């Protein structure tokens, strides 16, 4: 496995169309990746929620593309974020489980992040918000390609109360707010986090000064415990959860407004999505997966299929919906292509460039997607078909795992809620998908031996 600096340091400035991409722009774009935490597929107005008001995200979808078949690579925080930043299934990096304040691990030095790729291509890189890929200094964002960082190193519920699974039921330390690699506050006022994060993100946008930037803006919410500022608290018909989502929508609006005011609107790709599905055991404090089954912690569609919106005026056609299958791992090669940056040599990427789909030049292709939960390979999707071999029968806390007596097959194009097992009627498809699972597992195992 190469180190993170072992790549070619050449790129073609301004040539986004290099290598067959559908894009051709006068300059390399700024890229803003906005990531919510535990937001469900059905939690936005443009994805069908009846009472949560999200006018800015709805407008963003109207000015860009809304995806209906976009996946996180894991149903919980740490592995899903690792996959987004590395373009790889989290099992390849070893980041398969949620990290806690007592965890010693984090993002390995051997992993190349998209921030490193962008930085080496001449981008200014900044991260704001929840990291959750290791809290010790060697694992923080500024050690993995980001020029600056402000945020929490892990989830906002990991505060001085006995944490789930903490050795000896010990209390967690005070929740730290970190700037770069220094703790600047403990137990910050969480009702102000969204506002503070937004102010920090706007500094990056306003301070661009002609140099392209990559901003990774990872919200703490709507992970529980929920907090909204006074301006939004008590305003949503959906209750506190709705207040929190509506404040995130406000934040997205502030980002888009700042891009317009600084003349960078048409030079910037903005993407919005979520790390995994809603935390259903939190009941009214959790979100909705819409018509999809289950939520966070499971490999049912509700746990891993996410809302995803992309906007780039003049480059992405506005107001359309794409059913093209994609995943968070695709943003790594897509962002690199748009930046004119080479992909890291000797690194297996599981994502693929989606530039042509974003540009409306391609409907996408039939792809294979593998559903991992921790170190278990539990399901595969190819085209409309999804095969489960292992699944969760209860969502999170505790996640009881059930090994199926026989594989369960669903046509998620016809049956997106995964209600009707049609394995008996389609034995050839079952055999094909079982072979894909076996081949993928063998490839992962062989790759691990080569490290």
Report the number of distinct structural domains present in the chain: 2
Report the candidate in 318, 392, 446, 267 with the shortest Cα–Cα distance to residue 59: 318
**For 390-394, what is the mean pLDDT?**
78
| Packed helices 77-86 and 331-339: angle between N→C axes, nearest 10 degrees | 30
Within 13 Å, how many C-alpha atoms sit on residue 328's CB side?
31
Per-residue pLDDT at 216 exceeds 50: yes
**Measured distance CA(30)–CA(388) in Å, rounded:** 39
Q: Are residues 276 and 407 in the same domain?
A: no
Q: Answer for the pair 290, 40: CB distance below 8 angstroms, yes or no.
A: yes
DSSP structure class, residue 432: H
pLDDT at 298: 95
Report the candidate in 187, 128, 191 with the shortest Cα–Cα distance to residue 159: 187
Percent of the chain predicted with pLDDT > 90: 85
Max Cα distance, the chain (Å): 61
CATH number of the domain where residue 57 is located: 3.40.720.10
**Measured distance CA(102)–CA(134) in Å, rounded:** 10
**Measured distance CA(41)–CA(410) in Å, rounded:** 19
**For 26-52, what is the mean pLDDT?**
95
**Measured distance CA(265)–CA(248) in Å, rounded:** 20
User: What are the tens digits of pLDDT across the range 371-391?
Assistant: 999 999 999 999 999 999 988
Residue that finishes a domain, picked among 295, 328, 358: 358
Q: Are residues 59 and 85 in the same domain?
A: yes
Q: Are residues 69 and 175 in the same domain?
A: yes
Q: Is the dihedral of CA 271, 81, 180, 173 positive or negative?
A: positive
Extract the runs of DSSP E, i.e. beta strands, from 49-158.
65-71, 124-129, 148-151
Q: Answer for the pair 297, 75: CB distance below 8 angstroms, yes or no.
A: yes
Token pair of 408 as six digits:
């369960």
Burial class (CB in 10 A: 0-12, 13-18, 19+), 272: buried
Per-residue pLDDT at 7 exceeds 70: no
pLDDT at 171: 78
Confidence of residue 400 (pLDDT cuts 50, 70, 90): confident
Number of Cβ within 10 Å of residue 376's Cβ equals: 17
Q: Residue 1 domain-assigned?
A: no
Report the candidate in 49, 47, 54 with the shortest Cα–Cα distance to residue 69: 47
| Beta strands 320-322 and 326-327, pairing class | unpaired
Q: Are residues 387 and 266 in the same domain?
A: no
Q: Are residues 351 and 379 in the same domain?
A: no
Q: Are residues 148 and 270 in the same domain?
A: yes
**For 189-209, what is the mean pLDDT?**
96
Q: Are residues 333 and 374 in the same domain?
A: no
DSSP structure class, residue 415: -
Q: Are residues 349 and 413 in the same domain?
A: no
User: What are the tens digits of pLDDT across the range 288-347?
Assistant: 999 999 999 999 999 999 999 999 999 999 999 999 999 999 999 999 999 999 999 999
DSSP structure class, residue 99: -
User: What are the tens digits of pLDDT across the range 57-83?
Assistant: 999 999 999 999 999 999 999 999 999
Number of Cβ within 10 Å of residue 114's Cβ equals: 28
Confidence of residue 360 (pLDDT cuts 50, 70, 90): very high
Per-residue pLDDT at 15 exceeds 80: no
Beta bridge partners of 372: 377
User: What DSSP string describes 345-395?
Assistant: TT--------HHHHTTS------EEEEEETTEEEEEEETTEEEEEEEESS-
Confidence of residue 111 (pLDDT cuts 50, 70, 90): very high
Number of H helices, E strands in the chain: 10, 15
Q: Are residues 327 and 415 in the same domain?
A: no
Q: Is the pTM of this model over 0.75?
A: yes
Contacts of 447 (CB under 8 A, 6+ apart): 92, 348
**For 92-110, what is the mean pLDDT?**
96
| Residue 421 structural domain | 368-450
Question: Could you list the active site residues?
Answer: 77, 132
pLDDT at 162: 63
Q: Are residues 48 and 190 in the same domain?
A: yes
Percent of the chain predicted with pLDDT > 70: 90
pLDDT at 439: 96
Report the candidate in 154, 70, 141, 88 with the shortest Cα–Cα distance to residue 326: 70
pLDDT at 193: 98
**Measured distance CA(178)–CA(168) in Å, rounded:** 27
Q: Residue 363 domain-assigned?
A: no
Q: How many residues does the chain have?
A: 451
Q: Are residues 260 and 400 in the same domain?
A: no
User: What are the tens digits of pLDDT across the range 115-136?
Assistant: 999 999 999 999 999 999 999 9
Q: Are residues 348 and 393 in the same domain?
A: no
Q: Kindly report the CA angle at 274 between 63 and 314, in degrees rounded to 5?
A: 20
- Three-class SS of residue 216? strand
Number of Cβ within 10 Å of residue 385's Cβ equals: 19
**For 355-377, what is the mean pLDDT?**
95
- Three-class SS of residue 303? helix
**Measured distance CA(10)–CA(215) in Å, rounded:** 22
Q: Answer for the pair 46, 309: CB distance below 8 angstroms, yes or no.
A: yes
Per-residue pLDDT at 18 exceeds 60: no
> Lowest-confidence range among 21-25, 199-203, 243-247, 292-296?
21-25
Burial class (CB in 10 A: 0-12, 13-18, 19+), 336: buried
């Amino acid at each position: 496995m190469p180190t993170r600096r072992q790549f070619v340091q050449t790129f073609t400035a301004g040539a986004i169309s290099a290598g067959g991409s559908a894009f051709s722009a006068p300059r390399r774009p700024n890229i803003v990746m906005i990531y919510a935490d535990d937001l469900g597929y059905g939690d936005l107005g443009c994805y069908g929620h009846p009472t949560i008001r999200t006018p800015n995200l709805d407008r963003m979808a109207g000015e860009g593309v809304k995806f209906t078949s976009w996946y996180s690579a894991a149903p919980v925080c740490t592995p899903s974020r690792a996959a987004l930043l590395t373009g790889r299934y989290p099992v390849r990096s070893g980041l398969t489980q949620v990290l806690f304040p007592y965890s010693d691990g984090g993002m390995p030095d051997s992993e190349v992040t998209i921030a490193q790729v962008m930085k080496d291509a001449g981008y200014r890189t900044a991260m704001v918000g929840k990291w959750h890929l290791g809290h010790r200094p060697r694992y923080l964002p500024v050690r993995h390609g980001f020029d600056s960082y402000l945020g929490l190193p892990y989830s906002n519920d990991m505060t001085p109360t006995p944490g789930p699974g903490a050795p000896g039921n010990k209390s967690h330390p005070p929740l730290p707010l970190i700037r770069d690699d220094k703790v600047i506050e403990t137990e910050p006022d969480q009702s102000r986090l969204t506002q503070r994060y937004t102010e920090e993100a706007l500094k990056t946008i306003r301070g661009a000064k002609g140099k392209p930037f990559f901003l990774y803006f990872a919200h703490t919410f709507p992970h529980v415990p929920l907090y909204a500022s006074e301006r939004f608290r008590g305003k949503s018909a959906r209750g506190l959860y709705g207040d929190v989502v509506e404040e995130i929508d406000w934040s997205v609006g502030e980002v888009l407004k700042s891009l317009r005011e600084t003349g960078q609107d048409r030079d910037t790709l903005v993407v919005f999505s979520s790390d995994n599905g809603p935390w259903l055991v939190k009941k009214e404090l959790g979100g909705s997966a819409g018509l999809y089954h289950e939520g966070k912690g499971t490999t049912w569609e509700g746990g891993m299929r996410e809302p995803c919106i992309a906007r780039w005026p003049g480059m992405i056609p506005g107001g359309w919906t794409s059913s093209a299958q994609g995943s968070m791992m695709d943003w790594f090669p897509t962002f690199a292509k748009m930046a004119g940056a080479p992909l890291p040599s000797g690194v297996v990427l599981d994502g693929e460039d989606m530039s042509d789909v974003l540009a409306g030049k391609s409907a996408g292709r039939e792809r294979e997607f593998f559903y991992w939960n921790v170190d278990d390979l539990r399901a595969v999707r190819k085209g409309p078909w999804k095969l489960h071999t292992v699944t969760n029968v209860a969502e999170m806390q505790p996640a009881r795992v059930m090994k199926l007596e026989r594989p369960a097959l669903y046509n998620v194009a016809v049956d997106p809620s995964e209600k009707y097992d049609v394995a008996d009627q389609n034995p050839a498809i079952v055999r094909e998908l079982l072979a894909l699972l076996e081949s993928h597992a063998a490839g992962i195992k062989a790759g691990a031996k080569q490290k």
